[in-house]
A and B are shown apart, each in its own frame.
Chain A
Amino acid sequence: MTRYLIQRFLIMIIMLAALSIIVFITIELPPGDYADRRALDLRSQGMTVTQQDLIAMRHQFGLDRPWFQRYFTWITNIVLHGNFGVSFGMHRPVADVLGERVGLTVLLAVATIIFTYGLAIPIGIYSAIRQYSLGDYVATIIGYFGMATPSFMLALILLYFSVMVFNNSVGGLFSSQYAEAPWSWPKFVDLLRHLWVPALVLGLGGTAFEIRTMRATMLDEKNKLYVTAARAKGLPEWKLLLKYPVRVALNPIASTIGWELTAIIAGAPLVSFVLALPDTGPLFLRALLDQDIYLSGAILLMYSLLTILGTFLSDVLLALLDPRIRYGERV
């Protein structure tokens, strides 16, 4: 197990390094560089910037060095000093701007995962046991709808109904009296009260997929001989289900947590934007539109980190559930 963990951990580090290069490339892509931006800023403040000044600035920021050296400076600043560069739009260090918002994004992702599996597992079990019942059909239809509707559209639809039917908006993560307040217990409770909406929106697609997976595996397992044998021995039905087929069916579900997390992180910025959540999503979009590259790069890096960390955790979870994986066999 330890060997497997170390091996997986090393792969994760390599993945992260590769991803950071990709993020760096996207930062470098837009025409112009930091010196041009600075010059633009200075000019807008009424100062004159000559060609010599530009060259001097490029030298000062190290922009005249080859890209791998610049990448190295950028990444060491991040890893060693937590310095992600400066946001052009906000004239503040990126790390300050992100601050609290990162926590909210992580919280949203975790809440969505809990929501997804908390709903999918019981519904999947029910769908399989009561196959072709009304509940099964309802779950299937919701499943198709959930998989076909991208999360940001679901957010739009939800907004539409909340405005048209209930005459009140579901956007935001806090009630107005808590929005600017310091953290406290009532604020946290208020957050939880708002959190279920974006979690529902973000999680529905994944929930639909997991319900189908759970249902399919349960249908395969529930008629197998070991279940019949256990039933013949007189185990109560619910205990029997939970103890045997459900445990087997949990495996494929656990192995997809990594994918689920990737999907959630990918959908999150748009949903946060539509529902006006105070997390990194709207910030990311604005940074992209303004080509505020260090800010958008930092957020992209954070999203990548979250996904890779999630994949790592799901691999570890799977190794705990299934001994075959620990010894390098593929399932």
Chain B
Amino acid sequence: MTEINELMDVAPHPASAPSGIAQEAEIRYYTASQFQLMWWKFKKHRLALIGTALLGFFVFIALFAEFLSPYAPAVRTPNYLYGRPQVLHFVDAEGKFHLRPFTYALTAAMDPKTFLLEVKEDTSEPWPVYFFVKGDPYAMWGVIKSDRHLFGVEEGHLHLLGTDQLGRDILSRLFHATRTSLTIGVVGLFISFFLGLIIGGISGFFGGRVDDAIQRFIEFIRSIPTLPLWMSLAAALPRDWSPQRVYFTITILLGLLGWTHLARRVRGKLLSLREEDFVVAARLAGSTNTRIIARHLLPSFLSYIIVDLSISFPYMILAETSLSFIGLGLRAPVISWGTLLQDAQNIQAIALYPWLFTPVAFVIISVMAFSFVGDGMRDAADPYSR
């Protein structure tokens, strides 16, 4: 990558450089590869670093969902329906401190005045929480079979984010949903990526009438109110399809959503780079078209493409969430952020069971993290900002 170091062109004359450590730093700066320069610049953007850390956290959850979640996503705790989040205690009823956290058994009783179910902690019976506890069996990534979970209880139950109407653990479901939602985003992104690259490439490479037609087509697509259209398309999927097939189709639909922006970018870059001196030089030196595209053109706008991808990722996630939220997207037993939020659709749910609401936090945090990272990468990829 060193040969396409664009910053070399704008470097001041080395004769004016100061001596000693400063010079060494300067040498390091001027001999750094393009991606090294980007990383240095990216590191200065504090919000982007926080965003990267958060995204790493989400990816970690998505990768090890089975192990990290205390229960299997479909397992029910029949006597704890719509259960509130349980609290971890370190200090027991007598005021004694325990290093091992524990939670209390819960008793439910009807309030004689309001007729609402009142749940109280039964402080006489602590349920200690253990690491690497034996629980529901699972096969991670369909391969590694185990029944150990990162944390959990041996007696009683532990629902840190409460349970839903069937008594399923929301934390565990949220972890599994993270995997689904992120995968959909990534796969959808790849589809957009290839469409954008190919269509934008054709548009920019051939130019002229083909370019005109493709550009008008893109303008047309962008003037469609996308979400309603996608809702209509999703609603047209046959009802008797299996959830897996719907999952697959929705992912492809979402992939068709985001390519226009990228196609424009690729086209614009190709059109302007075609005439650059280094391309002309390569052509005069006898390089083939393939070599020019692969060796010279692609690397010089790859960074822009990566930035665009990171910016359009949130739209994928949000589109999936919106579609599933209203019941047009993924269907049970597939769990995603959107399907989880279906339970929090109405006022009653919000007022009585506010813990059903936690997936919202996941969605917002992940989308914000992506915007931060996207911002940081955009600044870093711009060779003219120092």
* Interface size, chain B (Cβ < 8 Å): 38
Please, which residues of chain A bring their CB within 8 A of the CB of B235? 30, 288-289, 291, 296
Contact between A266 and B233, CB atoms less than 8 A apart: no
Comparing A58-66, A90-98, A147-155, A246-254, the segment that makes contact with chain B is A147-155
* CB <8 Å contact, A148 and B314: yes
Contacts of B231 in A (CB 8 A): 269, 284-285, 288
Report how many residues on chain A are interfacial, defined by Cβ distance under 8 Å.
49
Q: What B residues does A23 contact at CB under 8 A?
A: 232
Tell me whether B318 and A150 are in contact (CB under 8 A).
yes
Q: A273 at interface (Cβ–Cβ under 8 A)?
A: yes
Bound state CA distance, A159 and B224, in angstroms?
A: 29
Q: Which chain B residues lie closer than 8 Å to A18 at the CB level?
A: 220
Whether the Cβ atoms of A145 and B223 lie closer than 8 Å is: no
User: Quick check: is A114 within 8 A (CB to CB) of the other chain?
Assistant: no
For the complex, what is the distance from the CA of A148 to the CA of B314, rounded to whole Å?
A: 8
Please name all residues of chain B whose beta carbon is closer than 8 Å to the beta carbon of A150 when the two chains form the complex.
Answer: 318, 321-322, 363
Which chain A residues in 39-90 approach chain B with CB under 8 Å?
none
Interface pair A153/B232, CB less than 8 Å apart: no
- Report the tally of A-B residue pairs with Cβ distances under 8 A: 114
Binds A, one of B128-136, B181-189, B301-309, B364-372: B364-372
Report chain B residues within 8 Å CB of A159: 347, 350
Given A145-B368, A273-B326, A274-B345, the answer on whether A266 and B360 have CB atoms closer than 8 Å is no
Q: What mask results when residues 126 to 165 of chain A are scored 1 for a CB within 8 Å of chain B, else 0? A: 0000000000000000001101111011001101100110
Interface residues of B: mostly helix, strand, loop or mixed?
helix
Give the residues in chain B near A22, CB-CB below 8 Å.
224, 229
Min CB–CB distance B267 → chain A (angstroms)? 15
Contact A307 B225 (CB under 8 A): yes
Q: Is A207 engaged at the interface, CB distance under 8 Å to the other chain?
A: no
Cβ–Cβ contact A304 & B360, under 8 A: no
Q: Beta-carbon contacts of B306-333 to A below 8 Å, as 1s and 0s?
A: 0000000010001001100111100000
Do A29 and B367 touch across chains, with their CB atoms under 8 A apart? no
A148/B225 contact (C-beta < 8 A), A169-B347, A171-B347 known = no
Closest to B317 in A: A150
* Interface residue from B223, B360, B371 paired with A307 (Cβ < 8 Å): B223
- Determine if A30 and B371 form an interchain contact, defined as CB atoms under 8 angstroms apart: no
Known: A30-B236, A144-B371, A269-B231. Is A289-B328 also a contact (CB below 8 A)? yes
Q: Closest approach, in angstroms, between the C-beta of B237 and any C-beta of chain A?
A: 8
- Contacting pair A284 B228 (CB below 8 A): yes
B→A interface (CB under 8 Å)? 220, 222-229, 231-233, 235-236, 238, 314, 318, 321-322, 325-328, 341, 344-345, 347, 350-351, 354, 357, 360, 363-364, 367-368, 371-372
Known: A144-B372, A163-B351, A270-B227. 12 other contacts (CB 8 A): A22-B224, A26-B229, A26-B232, A145-B364, A159-B350, A160-B354, A164-B354, A266-B225, A289-B328, A300-B228, A304-B225, A307-B224
